[in-house]
Structure 1
């Protein structure tokens, strides 16, 4: 079997509590022709001390001032030499045959991106891991993969899921350094649409660590809201430039609707813009997800009033 060099690009910020576990999941891969480039993005915890323990010659470490995840990922890529590229967060884990099986499904193609299965675990406890069972397990054209993955749900584009031939990234461009929250949405849509095929690698599982207080996905500041809006806006534009059709416009409206459900009422300036986008795309087909007392209250007073009450109660609690 051809064994191309795989470059794993890992930004790290205050990851001292879990980065060694993530690195060990790379070291333990059955596929051995890899390099791991870690960019320590101005960590203020013990990340640097943890990285000093590493002795594997395949691991390269670069330290920089804090510039953000996208800048760190781009720096790692600039230092890489591999024919195949994987971006990987410093808190996630991959199964032992992950890289081997992804290399096999790419099979030397410069136009195929490999995907994988995934699931979540919570509170740093792998015993809580639960595999998500709706992964697309057959080859798809990228636009069809995106449509199927986005229909009726929010798409999972976690960076370690993918193995990408370098030529695709050369054409697509790298991470948008102006974005922070859900930066993967814009990036991977742009990357996928420069490929010809997305192929599923069996027995390749990403263990996605959830529930970290400092994770980017947990930040909902004004800056985070603006980044999320911009990422969705750019991502759906990439899709519409590729295929301007009713199915894409409906997906665009639904993703802006998810955004409104997530951020209303705390960031009116961007949620108002998102609501206008929903109208421009012909309206959303998704409803506000709720259950129990929240569902009953939503049916009586509407989801916006319900969220305003929750937002007010949360503000009082944090006083």
Structure 2
């Protein structure tokens, strides 16, 4: 298992600069007053392809040799990584195949296809996606770019927190969503080297809290098919991301489905930016744990903005919406 280094992150940042945005950091006085903390929202929902995963995907794709690139790339993804890998592959002019659960938001399937990727559907479980993916690789010989358990991807994701450190002085903590742990691992990689005093928190849905339970148990606990509105956070930790989580994360906090929806609505209303349910989990956990963050300067990663506008979370019956 190769563990990416600070040097890998710095090389990645130079490699991907032509293909990503240096996303803005936004603030809200209203939300600061509500939480009792100073929050600095790193808006990766405004990133290329609508998510932070454009960073890791671009690093992986543009780091391939010509021989590797010729065979194309493939992955399994609930949406954003597949979209971003398709985006990066399109920029390099190589094929991309994405195995996606049939329950993934239509908007994310459409986005993969819009960037030239091929979608192969599977059942909504880790077991199914990995089995179908194995068939795809056997047929195509494509280079596997794992959504998060890949040193190239983690090095790329680490560029987000490097930018945040340059944009915001004096951060006390950074919080980001956690599913498989790619963003958190990149955050750990960068902060542990460049700003080791900054605390790192991960935010997770209560209904998909395997990372939180893993953190408490001291070993990986993997749920196969959890159900949560935060569709980007359903996958389990793997060995590489567990290395970073277990060594550098201060704590993993959770939020209910209702809390996530309310936090998402709050950001839409007060900050006027589109973001997806997974991106709302950090604010939901801050609102639930105000004492932890009181008086702190906190970087909050808004990880993506690829939401299904035809069925917003608060329109769903379980949240009092459309009947």
Please report the TM-score for the alignment, with normalisation by the length of structure 2: 0.32
Q: Could you say which structure has the greater relative contact order, defined with CA pairs below 8 angstroms and 6 or more residues apart?
A: 2
Going by fraction, where is helix more abundant, 1 or 2? 2
Please report the TM-score for the alignment, with normalisation by the length of structure 1: 0.33
Greater gyration radius: 1
